[in-house]
Amino acid sequence: MNARALVGVRILATGSSVPEGRLTNADFEKMLDTSDEWIVQRTGIRERRVLDLTKASGLTLAREALQNAIDAANIPASEIDLVICATVTGDMTCPSTAARIASDVGAAGAAAFDVGAACSGFVYAINLADSIVRAGRAKTVAVVGVDAMTSIIDYADRTCSILFGDAAGAVVLRADENPALGCIYQHMGADGTGWGSLYIPRQARDIPPSDIENKTRLGCLRMNGKEVFKFAVTKFREVIEDALAKTQLTPDQVSQFVCHQSNIRIIDAARERIGLDPSQVYVNIDKYGNSSAGSVPLCLDQLWRAGKITPGKPFVLVAFGGGLTWASSVWQTP
Ligand code: UT7
């Protein structure tokens, strides 16, 4: 870890992985009192990718996403000196998912740790990675966002279960001689007073009195959809407006706003309030649902590979989630 200080940061490549399995709205119609019409109108989701949890886990997706990014970067994995993985659904609390995927892809010996910031996790992690590289503490960093949300869903809960899917995405970053490249603005925040709107209790004592009637199984995600919705609509707009104001960028100077995919109504509300062109705000929630920390890097990989991140134009990552947390990251590309 001896990169020169005051360097820039270049994204060498991106990768992603989603499971083959699909859970459609028609499948939910057979399982629950719901309808395709309700789900599409209220969320924009038509299907989500789901792991076969008897054979695979978030670790599988994380490893594949990182391997894809390393292959695309065309560098030896041994050159990676730090792996950061954002997840709230790691196979185990110890070891970290990051430590296992680092050794699985051939980067054993790299520093490795997980970041827990729920759906904001990947944006937190890439902000950290950029700061560490710019400080000269690492030269080549892999950042992964993954969540196996279906491992923490109670499929009897019709409000929560229809929203989530499984996915992972990754980027490989490297120090660059041009200090203008990389994250030119970042913001991260959290407000723990709202934690009870979105949480995963391990045991009965974790459950606040206000949620005691909730029948969701222990170990599964609990959500106050209305509260999260209100928070998200406001925060999404605030975070994007803050990023534009602090960088003095106008919306048309931005290549893409890569937003956490939680609900099409949340994305559209922010887009309309700020006046962003629909072509600048990527949406894949119809096909993948909300994959928590996997959502932003999955979008980024799909945009990157499709050539939709315009060279020389900044792009903006935005997310919010459990904690409650929120984060933005503005990137200047070569
Ligand atoms: O990454 C962050 C994670 N979470 C989020 O971003 C979630 C944010 N919140 C939301 O996206 C929305 O609040 C939901 C999609 C979860 C719910 O949509 P809503 O428009 O806020 O619905 P609601 O909670 O106000 O419920 C309206 C009705 C209720 O019935 P009653 O009380 O009016 O009879 C619900 O029981 O819809 C009912 N409902 C459903 N009906 C059919 C709730 N879930 C379903 C369902 N199918 N799956």
Per-residue pLDDT of the chain (334 residues; tens, 9 = 90+): 444 446 999 999 999 999 999 999 999 999 999 999 999 999 999 999 999 999 999 999 999 999 999 999 999 999 999 999 999 999 999 999 999 999 999 999 999 999 999 999 999 999 999 999 999 999 999 999 999 999 999 999 999 999 999 999 999 999 999 999 999 999 999 999 999 999 999 999 999 999 999 999 999 999 999 999 999 999 999 999 999 999 999 999 999 999 999 999 999 999 999 999 999 999 999 999 999 999 999 999 999 999 999 999 999 999 999 999 999 999 999 9
Q: Which of 68, 260, 263, 299 is catalytic?
A: 260
Q: Are residues 247 and 166 both part of a single domain? A: no
Q: Are residues 165 and 253 both part of a single domain? A: no
pLDDT at 4: 47
Q: Is 160 a catalytic residue?
A: no
Q: What is the pTM of this model?
A: 0.96
Q: What are phi and psi of 319, to 5 degrees?
A: -150, 160
Q: Specify the CATH number for the domain of residue 325.
A: 3.40.47.10
Per the structure, the count of domains in the chain is 2
Q: Are residues 81 and 110 both part of a single domain? A: yes
**Residue nearest (by alpha carbon) to ligand 1 atom 13:** 225
Cα-based distances in Å from 206 to 107, 195, 218, 234, 323: 37, 11, 10, 28, 14
Mutate which of 89, 152, 229, 290 for ligand 1 pocket (most atoms within 8 A of beta carbon): 229
Q: Are residues 188 and 169 both part of a single domain? A: no
Domain range for 231 is: 183-332
Mutate which of 28, 158, 159 for ligand 1 pocket (most atoms within 8 A of beta carbon): 159
| Interaxial angle between packed helices 121-134 and 295-305, expressed in degrees from 0 to 180 and rounded to the nearest 10 | 70
Q: Which of 25, 85, 119, 224 is catalytic?
A: 119
Q: Are residues 187 and 305 both part of a single domain? A: yes
pLDDT at 2: 42
Q: Are residues 260 and 126 both part of a single domain? A: no
Answer whether 29 contacts ligand 1 (Cβ < 6 A).
Answer: no
Q: Are residues 171 and 188 both part of a single domain? A: no
> Of the residues 128, 158, 179, which one is the last residue of a structural domain?
179
CA 257 / ligand 1 centre spacing (Å): 26
Name the 3-class secondary structure at 143.
strand
**Residue nearest (by alpha carbon) to ligand 1 atom 43:** 159
